[in-house]
Chains A and B, each alone.
Chain A
Amino acid sequence: MIRFDNVYKRYPEGKEALQGVSFHLHKGAMAFLTGHSGAGKSTLLKLVALIERATRGQLFLDGENLSRTPKRRIPFLRRKIGMIFQNYRLLFDRTVFDNVALPLVIAGYRHQDIGRRVRAALDKVGLLDKERALPIMLSGGEQQRVGIARAVVNKPPLLIADEPTGNLDPELSADIMHLFEQFNQVGVTVLIASHDLDLISTMPYTQIRLHEGRLVRSRRPAGP
């Protein structure tokens, strides 16, 4: 699903954010991206979502070479990715329903389909009764679940999350991670950047660890 081939990213200010990173995340896999802050986790995710472009090397998303993607194709590529953010990035002047519906509106779904799909997504994250609420009326955990519903509502093949539990307490964090596992179980590829090592170590998934822009090791899950 995601393949990095000796990727470098240098920011205009001269900082080397990624140096010679290579890895392959298979379709249907789930993995954690770990490392200290500033290790390059966010940069790596930004390259996948084409928010930033690699300076050198090649990366592929679902078989497409992202170093050659023209600008006007970027929106359509992003529709294949459900993105989840640490600060949720919801629209605070719209209801929960409208927030979750946004990807469908953008993709031009019909009115009837939108209602059905939004409710299905809200049901999955357990917020069906909150569709008329404004995000500001929800707790942090609930807001993040709205963000997740928005990310999955158009059934993208890939979910990427940047510190999705960064602002949540441990119990809520475990809930959120469990949600990601559920999506992975139905075939969605999931890549989560997190430094919540306590939580991650209890889960049997690949860890891609970055240190100062380099890939330190890619640990396979323990067990058979």
Chain B
Amino acid sequence: MKPAHRLPNYLARHAQVALNSLGRLYRSPLASLMTAAVIGIALALPSGLYLLTGNLQQLSSQWDGSASISLFLHSNVSPQQSRALHGKLQGWAEIERLQLITPEQALAEFRTLSGFGEALEALDENPLPFVLTLKPAQAHADAGSATRLLKKLRGLPEVELAQLDLQWVQRFNAIIDIVRRSIWVLAVLLGLAVLLITGNTIRLEIQNRRDEIEITKLIGGTNGFIRRPFLYSGFWYGVIGAVLAALLVELAFLQLHGPVRQLAALYQSGFSLDTLSAAEGLALLLAGASLGLLGAWLAVGRHLAAIEPA
């Protein structure tokens, strides 16, 4: 054999073994699909949760940059006084944007968005106070400065309640962080499960093909040659499992899509769920393939050496 022929020949042999292994899975479709489905579910669970929390984080980051402060004025503050305060605050350097919401505007908005429209009809007077919403200037948007600004605003006599909306965003983010970390733990555990599933499946396959392995060893098959089809089987299990996982995640998110859009509309947000990006899909595929391969490798390492012709 000429050296020039060797590499293409080697690759061709690998391609052939890979196809043979796939064909072997295809010949027992139910058993193969069941193994792949278990792997798929194990992979879908952490990736779905990860994607979900990613969406929540993205949602909160939309609010994060627009940390706003709401000032609820005393109900006895007159419209003139409110406008005067509005004018005064506009002069402050810490404040970038300021908006005055009259009780009428607030009521109208509440009526359209809350769904309590009819109940509001029953009220003889508008219970809502004047509200000033403001956005701190960029230099004062961090948590510390925003809190200082909040203190200063609370000192104003017209103000009954000053609320920094950032607080709950921060708490929300902290919770999401904890959830994300637990998902990683879950992912590691389920990844381990995938290893065990492929390992066990490959172990059974090795046992079923014991005669073939012995004969191959007798006529000069190296361990590498014997190992190869089993490694490819593990690889395919992982790949098919990952594809199933991606399908499951997409399907689940498709179910969530409508309700989430409805909810977002209630909050006047154009937010919609992000599903798997191309990069994330590729990462899932890679994770599945390498877990399958690794599981097969472990099984093959343990069980193949034990089979020697006698």
Contact = CB atoms under 8 A, between A and B. Distances in A.
Interface string A37-66: 000000000000101000000000000000
A78 B9 CA distance: 23
Contacts of B5: 110
Nearest to A81: B220
A75 B222 contact: yes
B9 A110 contact: yes
Contact of A150 (B219, B223, B225, B310): B219
Interface stretch (A19-27, A100-108, A122-130, A189-197): A100-108
With most chain A CB atoms within 10 A of its CB, the pick from B12, B211, B217, B219 is B219
A107 B212 contact: no
Interface residues of B, number: 22
Nearest to B27: A93
Contacts, number: 55
A105 B212 CA distance: 14
B13 A108 contact: yes
A102 B219 contact: yes
Contacts of A77: 220
B57 interface: no
Nearest to B1: A110
A145 interface: no
A63 B309 CA distance: 24
B216 interface: yes
A136 interface: no
A103 B10 contact: no
A146 to B, nearest CB: 12
A3 interface: no
Contacts of B217: 75, 78
Interface in B248-301: none
B25 to A, nearest CB: 15
A77 B5 CA distance: 24
A75 B223 CA distance: 8
A108 B10 contact: yes
Contacts of B13: 105, 108
B212 A83 contact: no
A202 B222 CA distance: 40
B218 interface: yes
Given A78-B218, A91-B215, A102-B216, A108 B309 contact: no
Contacts of A91: 211-212, 215
Interface residues of A, number: 22
A151 B247 CA distance: 49
A111 to B, nearest CB: 7
B219 A106 contact: yes
B218 A49 contact: yes
A90 B13 CA distance: 22
Nearest to B222: A75
Nearest to A51: B309
A143 to B, nearest CB: 14
Contact of A78 (B12, B220, B310): B220
A79 interface: yes
Interface string A154-179: 00000000000000000000000000
A84 to B, nearest CB: 11
Interface in B136-156: none
Nearest to B5: A110
Nearest to A110: B9
Nearest to A76: B220
Contacts of A72: 222-223
A49 B1 CA distance: 26
Q: Top 6 nearest A-B pairs by Cβ distance?
A: A79-B220, A78-B220, A75-B222, A106-B221, A75-B220, A103-B219
Interface of A: 49, 51, 72, 75-79, 83, 89-91, 102-103, 105-108, 110-111, 150-151
Given A72-B222, A79-B219, 12 more contacts: A51-B310, A75-B223, A83-B219, A89-B214, A89-B215, A89-B218, A91-B215, A106-B220, A108-B9, A108-B13, A150-B219, A151-B219
